[in-house]
Amino acid sequence: MSKSKQDGTKPELEVSADEAGERLDKLLAAKLGSRSKAKTALEKGRVFLNDKEASLTDAGYAIKKGDRIRLWLDRPGSAKMTTNRGPHRSGLWIIYEDEDLLVINKPAGLLVHPLDDEEGGSTLVDMVEDYLRPKGKREPRLVHRIDRDTSGLVVFAKNGKTQELLKDQFKQRKPERVYWAVVHGIVKPTEGTWEDWLSENKKSVKQQLARAKDKNAKQAISKYKVLEQFRDAAVLEVRLVTGKRNQIRIQAGSRGYPLVGERQYVYGEAKESSVPDFERQALHALRLVIEHPRSGKALAFEAPLPEDINELLQRLRRDNRR
């Protein structure tokens, strides 16, 4: 059995020679007592492999002698939360709700907030307003946004003070914001940091690459790693350091890895590809960790991958293997 060190509440396992080659999830199951507990630990960000947070995509990793596996079973915010597993009768998929805030899993195709140049059509703000009205809360207070065709987590405040405190967290880059993206190409290196400067083109109302000295330029930083590499596509985990509009789409596209389904931020000539067509950019806001503005406790939220991205991944795994 692995030798265990105690580091506060974070026991560390040192892999022995006889355990080398074993799957990570199998080793965790032996340590935690069951496969379901191992799966939950990976889902909730409670496992660290060689000082990097592991996830379900690492379950099949073949352990090497000398690997360090750290368990943080009481990680703040990783406890099970009260959630609704599917859409509420209002049409909203509510991930979390309390007296101060509301976390929604937004479907692709739904605009978060009305655009100045568009009229009509329901938005996420409208739906949240309809949901809150019977509870005596008439005005939803948006904390941050994601694109119309991006799915995943969006946070609303129920009062002005909560909105102010949460917006301040985002301004200070405190929240952990993790996206999954499916992109074209073979991504090299397999992990790293993207750093750019972006500005808004007033004529097209689109973001564009800029120079640092441009007066309207704002810094955009993302950390990425390849989770799965196919012949003509890859699945990326992208962690936002900054959160500029269209940031991931621009940064991936400008490096020759446009998102599958991307229509706007494609640079250069399109290459021949066996990747199936996709109706939107394959981008999902998967995970968000914030501090609760009242209690200060860390809250971790996750939105499961939507059906269309799951189907895309199944097709890539079947037809686009390297």
- Does pLDDT of 15 surpass 90? no
| Residue 9 located in a structural domain | yes
Both 98 and 166 in one domain: the answer is yes
| Residue 305 located in a structural domain | no
Task: Please report which residue ranges of the chain form alpha helices under DSSP H.
Answer: 24-32, 35-43, 124-132, 160-171, 247-254, 307-319
| Residue 103 located in a structural domain | yes
pLDDT in tens, 141-198: 999 999 999 999 999 999 999 999 999 999 999 999 999 999 999 999 999 999 999 9
| Residue 80 located in a structural domain | no
Both 281 and 231 in one domain: the answer is yes
Both 189 and 156 in one domain: the answer is no
The DSSP secondary structure of 210-224, one letter per residue, reads E-TTSTT-EEEEEEE
pLDDT in tens, 107-140: 999 999 876 544 456 899 999 998 988 766 667 8
- Does pLDDT of 86 surpass 60? no
Please give the tally of structural domains in the chain: 3
Both 197 and 224 in one domain: the answer is yes
- Does pLDDT of 5 surpass 90? no
| Residue 291 located in a structural domain | no
What is the predicted pLDDT for the residue at 142?
Answer: 94
Both 147 and 262 in one domain: the answer is no
| Residue 201 located in a structural domain | yes
| Residue 102 located in a structural domain | yes
| Segments forming the whole domain that contains residue 32 | 3-71
Instruction: Print burial letters for 131-164: b (CB count within 10 Å at least 16), e (below 16).
Output: bbeeeebeebbbbbbbbbbbbbbbbbbbeeebbe
Q: Which of 105, 138, 172 is the last residue of a domain?
A: 172
CATH number, position 157? 3.30.2350.10
Q: Which residues are catalytic?
A: 147
Structure pTM?
A: 0.72
CATH number, position 8? 3.10.290.10
| Residue 58 located in a structural domain | yes
Q: Which of 172, 205, 236 is the last residue of a domain?
A: 172
Quickly state the pLDDT bin for 246 (edges 50, 70, 90): very high
Q: What is the mean pLDDT of the chain?
A: 85
DSSP reduced 3-state for 88:
coil
